[in-house]
Amino acid sequence: MNKSEISSVIRKLAIEAGEKIMEIYGTDDFEVKSKSDESPVTLADETADAHIFAGLRAAFPDAAIVTEEQSDTHSEASDTFFIVDPLDGTKEFIKRRGDFTVNIAYVEAGVPTMGVVYAPAKKRLFLTDANGKSFEEQGDHKADTAGEMKPISVSTPDESALIVVASKSHLTDETKDYIGKYNVADSRSAGSSLKFCLVATGEADLYPRVGRTMEWDTAAGQAVLLGAGGKVVRFDNHEPLTYGKPIFENPYFIAYAPGITLQKA
């Protein structure tokens, strides 16, 4: 497939989905339901999911597509596919904290090579271009008009004074214990895949996740981080985190700027 077209389509769909999400976010009340795994889901998740799926199917009719809200229906095995989290950070959305994102990624041979992470409430948009290089788009984020693309890259970390980013809603004791193995000068919290993006822009050096995630939670953020010179590895053996696994659940992982000596689990 044409990668310039992929980059353009996923950017446009992410912004359009973000607009639909913000319309619901701005209402006085919205229903919160529970899925089979007891995680929350809202009309915003379902509306954005349907919009992105329809847009990808129209643009790329032969592509394999996995979306969070339709994942129970996906039986096709592939290592090259689109993967979508239409509203990553539903808990942040429900609590109206703003740290939620629209995530769309393209995975090739198990590696997320292209992606977009759009945080409509934060007005931040991160994406990769056709060459897999990562940018943060400046401006008002209009679906049909791209703003200035600012190249982003990871920091050169100081191992004596690292900046760590961790989850707002899922900070486990195991994660705290692992962070304690490093010399940390500052720690930050963020919701959803924004944590990957903070490492990608050099606003943080290290993001360990010792907790449950699914492939759609991480693929777009990983693509952005890889395109900014970062790495994402499994927590257990420090091998690259890959996609298209027999199940959608990820192992624990570490996202980081090269130059950090990774500590053992």
Are residues 41 and 114 part of one domain? yes
**Residue 90 belongs to some domain of the structure:** yes
157 has pLDDT over 70: yes
Q: Considering the domain boundaries, does residue 110 fall inside one?
A: yes
How remote is the C-alpha of 246 from its chain's centroid?
20
Q: How far apart are CA 150 and CA 134, in angstroms?
A: 9
What domain range is 169 assigned to? 162-256
Q: Which of 96, 126, 151 is the last residue in one of the domains?
A: 151
Token digits for 37? 């795994």
Please name every residue paired with 205 in a beta bridge, in sequence order, or none if there are none: none
Question: Has residue 225 been placed in a domain?
Answer: yes
* 141 confidence band (pLDDT: 50, 70, 90): very high
Average pLDDT (253-261) is: 98
> Are 28 and 140 members of one domain?
yes
Q: Which residues contact 126 (CB under 8 A, 6 or more apart)?
A: 116, 117, 118, 134, 135, 136, 137, 152, 197, 200, 201, 224
* Same-domain status, 79 and 132: yes
Mean pLDDT of 84-99: 91
Clarify whether residues 12 and 139 are in a common domain.
Answer: yes
148 is in an annotated binding site: no
The domain boundary, picked from 124, 151, 178, lies at: 151
pLDDT range class, residue 2, cuts 50, 70, 90: very high
Domain contains 265: no
User: Tokens in use for 227?
Assistant: 């395109």
Largest CA distance in the chain: 50
Which residue from 77, 75, 79, 132 is spatially nearest to 110, judged by alpha carbons? 79
Question: In terms of domains, do 129 and 167 share one?
Answer: no
217 is in an annotated binding site: yes
Is residue 237 within 8 A of residue 252, CB to CB? The reply is: no
For the chain, the domain total comes to 2
DSSP class of 90: H
Predicted local confidence at residue 75, as pLDDT:
56
Among 151, 183, 198, the domain-final residue is: 151
Same domain for 108 and 171, yes or no, is no
CA atoms in the 13 A half-sphere facing the CB of 94: 15
Q: Kindly tell me if the per-residue pLDDT of 29 is higher than 70.
A: yes
The C-alpha atoms of residue 42 and residue 67 are separated, in whole angstroms, by 15
- Residues forming beta bridges with residue 136, ordered by sequence position: 126, 150
Residue 188 CA to residue 248 CA, distance in Å, equals 28
In this structure, the answer to whether residues 43 and 67 fall within a common structural domain is yes
Confidence of residue 70 (pLDDT cuts 50, 70, 90): confident
140 assigned to a ligand binding site: no
Buried b / exposed e along 153-162 (16+ C-beta atoms within 10 A) = ebbebeeeeb
192-211 pLDDT, tens digit each: 899 999 999 999 999 999 99
Q: Do residue 66 and residue 142 come from a single domain? A: yes
Residue 113 marked in a binding site: no
Does 261 map to a domain? no
pLDDT at 195: 96
Is 85 annotated as ligand-binding?
yes
Q: Could you tell me whether strands 149-151 and 231-234 are parallel, antiparallel, or unpaired per DSSP bridges? A: unpaired
Over residues 165-193, the pLDDT tens digits come to 998 667 788 999 999 999 999 999 888 89
The DSSP H or E segment spanning 231 is strand 231-234
Q: Are residues 210 and 112 in the same domain?
A: no
Domain CATH for 27? 3.30.540.10
Judge whether 87 is annotated as a binding position. Answer: yes
Do both 177 and 130 map to the same domain?
no
Whether residues 39 and 125 fall in one domain: yes
pLDDT of residue 1: 80
Of the pLDDT bands very low, low, confident and very high (cuts 50, 70, 90), residue 69 is: confident
Quick check: is 264 in a domain?
A: no
- 90 is an annotated ligand-binding site residue: yes
Considering the chain, what is the average pLDDT of its residues?
Answer: 93
Give the whole-angstrom CA distance, residue 179 versus residue 197.
Answer: 19
40 found inside a domain: yes
Does position 37 have pLDDT exceeding 80, yes or no? no
Residue bearing the bigger pLDDT, 191 or 4: 4
CATH at residue 236: 3.40.190.80
**Domain contains 34:** yes
Do 175 and 198 share a domain, yes or no? yes
The secondary structure element, H or E, covering residue 42 is: strand 40-42
Distance CA 41, CA 34 (A): 6
